[in-house]
Amino acid sequence: MDNIQDALQSINWGLIAPIILIQLVLVIVAIIDLIRVKQANGPKWLWVIIILFLSIVGPIIYFIVGRRQNR
């Protein structure tokens, strides 16, 4: 238990916290956008899995590839 506490105390949270915040915002915005669009490029359930489990990269992939462009 002491090893875990020591490891958590040694983390530079000033660097990690913004990354965690950016990831959280990206995931929330991507999920909200996915809910609002009528169609995406591929099944929506698959995009939910990609967004949630591929960390920062998942929402970015969704916004680049998954959103259907209305032209």
Instruction: Compute the distance between CA of residue 23 and CA of residue 44 in angstroms, rounded to an integer.
Output: 20
Segment 18-40, tens digit of pLDDT: 989 999 999 999 999 999 988 88
Which residue range forms the structural domain that includes residue 47?
Answer: 16-66
Domain membership of residue 39 (yes or no) is: yes
Instruction: Compute the distance between CA of residue 63 and CA of residue 51 in angstroms, rounded to an integer.
Output: 10
Domain membership of residue 42 (yes or no) is: yes
pTM, two decimals, is: 0.75
Segment 33-70, tens digit of pLDDT: 999 988 888 888 999 999 999 888 899 888 888 877 66
Domain count for the chain: 1
Q: Which residue has the tokens 């958590």?
A: 8
Domain membership of residue 10 (yes or no) is: no
